[in-house]
Structure 1
Amino acid sequence: MTGFDYEVDVAVVGGGACGLMAALRAARDPGLVVAVYEKSTKEGCNTQFSSGSLAAGGTRFQREAGIDDSPERHAADILAVNRDPDSAPIVHALCRVAPRYVEWLADELGHPVEIGVDMARSGQSVPRLHTDTGRAGGGRLVATLRKAVESADNIAFVDNTPGVGLIAETAGGRVRVTGVEVLENGERRRVGAKAVVLAADGFGNNPTMLAEYCPQAVGAFYGGVSTSTGDAISWGIGLGAAVRNMGAYLGHGLVVPGHGTRLNPVLPFLGALLVGVDGRRFVDEKAQGYSKLGRIIAGQPTGRAVLIWDERMHEIAMNSELMRESAAAGAFARYGSAAELAAAFSLPEQALAETLAAFRAVSVVEDPSGFDHGPLEFPLLAAWVTHGILTTQGGLVVDTTGRVRHRDGGPIANLYAGGGSACGISGPSAEGYMSGNGLLSALGFGWIIGDHLAGGGLKAA
């Protein structure tokens, strides 16, 4: 290679879950030099602001809890929700590696993994969300991965060094990536690389791209990181890469307006009640994933609703960093009567009282007969909730090894993508997201790409 300021074997753009995983797995080949270019650890990545929940089917943690699951069952559940049969090869590839990296995180990196038997989610036929003990969230997961990167002799993690473009050449009508340009200490550097991995976040904080591809999300509360500007996706498009499902995003229907925190998504599955500004129930709370719920709440007259739950649900829900942050922010309060609750939220008192009387909370163990486990018991807790967008889900089209595909169907040589840079597995809209899909795509593609490069794929690229 010529015309570069310096060269590495693998250049990873983005130091979140996908980029860190890709670097760690590629660096298992001691002959490879890997560089990870992170835009800003101070601003953080979306994984850090997630619950850190790892969806995987067929782990030993599930077996020890008596849960019968498998990668095939996991994939079937995702495909039933995302309504995107064309994504099946990718979904199956990611689900196959998920139990492997969950156990690797625990066994090799010492991440404190447990199965969240109390973390019911829409569309998941069995409990399969794995979390850290103590439920500290995604920040703890990123810390585990970064610690491992720091201890690897052949990985350089370069902070405050955003990527600014790809370096490529065209020969015989085919595009070949030869490196990446980065901004180091305010100066552009040309880095030669045998493989470039795009592992940046999506475009949730790029108003222009959001308006073009996800107009439904414009104006919604944004709960992602400021660095999600879609740069890597734009570079790929500029080289002729195919994109897919660009209108898809991870929404959230349990964002507390005025506080910017989120309530625990388990609450609707424990029997929490949603009412509109008219004091009436308007949705089957348990039938919705929290992303789809966001679209439903957005359709309410004021774009908000009131979530109501009781103490028995609260005790379980507080086993979550999201809920603890909401508590610290004063995002919810307790009410001793229907009249007190109605007054606090300016709801019609009679309508709310009638709704509460008719509603029957659902226990943790679902009863197929419906809401028949007795009324919500005072004191009740309640909070305003609205809709938000956390991350986008569309992006560059990749194959089952993470190679970026050109619009003509062939691969763009030496270019890989995962995480927010690649097309996710949640289908064409916000309604196809299943809890855990984001980290499944990020960690899964990081694992697949890294293993591919360490296993000889770099020479074949």
Structure 2
Amino acid sequence: MMTPKVEDVPPDRFDLKIGTLIIGAGACGLVAALSASEAGQDVLVVEAEPYPSGSTALSAGLIPAADTKIQQAAGITDDAALFASDIQSKAHSENEQELVDLLTSNAAEVIDWLSERHALPFSVVTDFDYPGHSRRRMHGLPTRSGRELIDALRSACEREGLDIICNRRATTLYRDQDQILGVAVTGPDATVETIACDRLILACNGFGGNRALVSEHVPQIEDALWFGHSGNRGEAVLWAEGLGAGLQNLGAYQGHGNVAHPHGILITWAVITEGGVQVNRDGYRFWDESQGYSEAARAVLAQPGGEAFAIFDGRIAAIARQFEDFKRAEETGAIRSAETIEDLSKALGLPSVALEQTIREIPVGGTDQFGRSFNPPLLAPPFMGVRVTGALFHTQGGLCVDSSARVLKEDGIAFTNLYAGGGAAAGVSGKGDSGYLSGNGLLSAVVLGRIAGRGA
């Protein structure tokens, strides 16, 4: 990997000039492109990978938003203030309130805009609750797939005639004091091109794929399976250091403690929230699973062999099948099914007596020794299970931005034409993993992308 650089001396002549240049074609970059185009700007998106993807494509593609027209049609009463309160409660009030309010107050407009202006067929997940959300506000496309979301956004960009150039990794930013003049990008044949721009939007990545930065900033998860996008190399953080830009909450991350192992397929947390449990290889539960899937990463990794088993049943599986990843896990044989706990134990290699005791002791209609409450019904045949491990999915810290998504310098003064969103910007997940509320990453991506695209 070439070391990202910041240079004060620009080339004598740039190869190309563009109005708004966007680095990264994940959800943030594509939303920013649509927003900038709508504002009458000429736009170019450069993407390091062979096709638009980003961390979005590896996720379930669910975006939380409060008081959308889709929620209203579904009879769900919600508002931005309640959403903001949920975020801060999960993050122990470690976020800047101004940023939380910015994201929650603009999220509904973004969903409505994408639905109405760009025909993305969002619907609300209404058959189960996500930890920490006091309302059902997760909006997703029909297959509940991040790949579908990226493809839909890319198609919208194509309909608008927007240019997305792939296989171009940005390596150097050229600046004149607090203004960005342009960038240098490197192609697959190592050819370097320079692009001048009036505005630059960093929609590139986090740093989860950069093991040195992970070790420095989030050492508690450095041994976890890296399950994020390979392009998450930390360019935004490294450019920020060269620019003297402000950085915040670099220890925040999204983990996931329910990744099928060794298949590497994300298993929706619905298998837990709807009444399933996690057990270790001895057949016993070991924590309060209702805390969330990000916290589960550390909890699972602390178990023997760094693995666990998600145990649920056919009723729960029917809910989980709305997610493409879950169906794929079934197709590949990662998920086992049996009519008895004894047979499921054999299929998973677990001690049957211990697992039967664990299932028998679930206090349906009560609270267990870990503090988790269970509601009926009791797990029933067919019983199902999958071997899982803990993974690092995405880092949540990044560049500080203002209410216009402009990047702030360390002294709090904004760069005149540098913007950031998505994985490049500091999110609203507090300082560790316990502050991650489902959908925070995509919330930051689409809202800051929308705002940055419009411009100040």
Q: 1:149 to 1:77 in 2, by over 3 A?
A: same
The alpha carbon displacement at 1:313 in A equals 1.0
What is aligned with 1:150? 158
What is aligned with 2:5? none
Secondary structure of the residue aligned to 2:305 is coil
- Separation in 2, partners of 1:353, 1:277: 13
- Separation in 2, partners of 1:43, 1:14: 8
Given that 1:43 and 1:227 are in contact with CA atoms closer than 8 Å, whether structure 2 keeps it comes out as: no
Q: Pairwise mapping of residues 360-375 of structure 1 onto structure 2 (< 5 A)? A: 360-361=363-364, 370-371=373-374, 373-375=376-378
The alpha carbon displacement at 1:29 in A equals 3.0
Given that 2:203 and 2:422 are in contact with CA atoms closer than 8 Å, whether structure 1 keeps it comes out as: yes
Amino acid at match of 2:275: G
- Separation in 2, partners of 1:236, 1:48: 25
TM-score (norm 2): 0.92
Tell me which of 316, 321, 326 is aligned to 2:324: 321
What is aligned with 1:234? 238
What is aligned with 2:6? none
- Separation in 1, partners of 2:345, 2:214: 37
What is aligned with 1:9? 19
Given that 2:52 and 2:154 are in contact with CA atoms closer than 8 Å, whether structure 1 keeps it comes out as: no
Amino acid at match of 1:122: P
Secondary structure of the residue aligned to 2:441 is helix
Amino acid at match of 1:349: S
Superposed CA offset, 1:42-91 (max 9, x none): 48311111111110000111112221101111111001111244421111
Superposed CA offset, 1:201-232 (max 9, x none): 11111111111112122221121121111112
What is aligned with 1:81? 90
What is aligned with 2:218? 214
Superposed CA offset, 1:278-321 (max 9, x none): 22222232x21111121221222332211111111111111111
Tell me which of 4, 23, 32 is aligned to 1:22: 32
Secondary structure of the residue aligned to 1:343 is helix
Q: 1:241 to 1:340 in 2, by over 3 A?
A: same
The alpha carbon displacement at 1:434 in A equals 0.8
Q: Does 1:273 align with 2:277?
A: yes
Superposed CA offset, 1:329-378 (max 9, x none): 21111123232233333433322222121114579xxxx99436253212
Q: Does 1:254 align with 2:224?
A: no
- Separation in 2, partners of 1:251, 1:280: 22
What is aligned with 1:161? 168
Q: 1:237 to 1:47 in 2, by over 3 A?
A: same
Given that 1:271 and 1:362 are in contact with CA atoms closer than 8 Å, whether structure 2 keeps it comes out as: no
Is there any run of 5+ residues in structure 2 with no aligned partner, and where?
Answer: 1-9
- Separation in 1, partners of 2:157, 2:73: 30
What is aligned with 2:386? 383
Secondary structure of the residue aligned to 2:318 is helix
Q: Does 1:333 align with 2:336?
A: yes
Amino acid at match of 1:49: L
Tell me which of 432, 436, 439 is aligned to 1:433: 436
Amino acid at match of 2:101: H
Given that 1:202 and 1:421 are in contact with CA atoms closer than 8 Å, whether structure 2 keeps it comes out as: yes
What is aligned with 1:63? 72
Q: Does 1:349 align with 2:352?
A: yes
Amino acid at match of 2:175: A
Q: 1:369 to 1:292 in 2, by over 3 A?
A: closer
Quote the sequence identity (%): 34
Superposed CA offset, 1:409-441 (max 9, x none): 212231111111111111111111111111100
Tell me which of 141, 156, 174 is aligned to 2:149: 141
What is aligned with 2:7? none
- Separation in 2, partners of 1:213, 1:156: 35
Greater mean alpha carbon deviation, residues 378-387 or residues 142-151: 142-151
What is aligned with 1:398? 401
Q: 1:146 to 1:362 in 2, by over 3 A?
A: farther
Amino acid at match of 1:141: L
- Separation in 1, partners of 2:334, 2:288: 23
Task: State how many pairs are aligned.
Answer: 441
The alpha carbon displacement at 1:141 in A equals 1.3
Is there any run of 5+ residues in structure 1 with no aligned partner, and where?
Answer: none
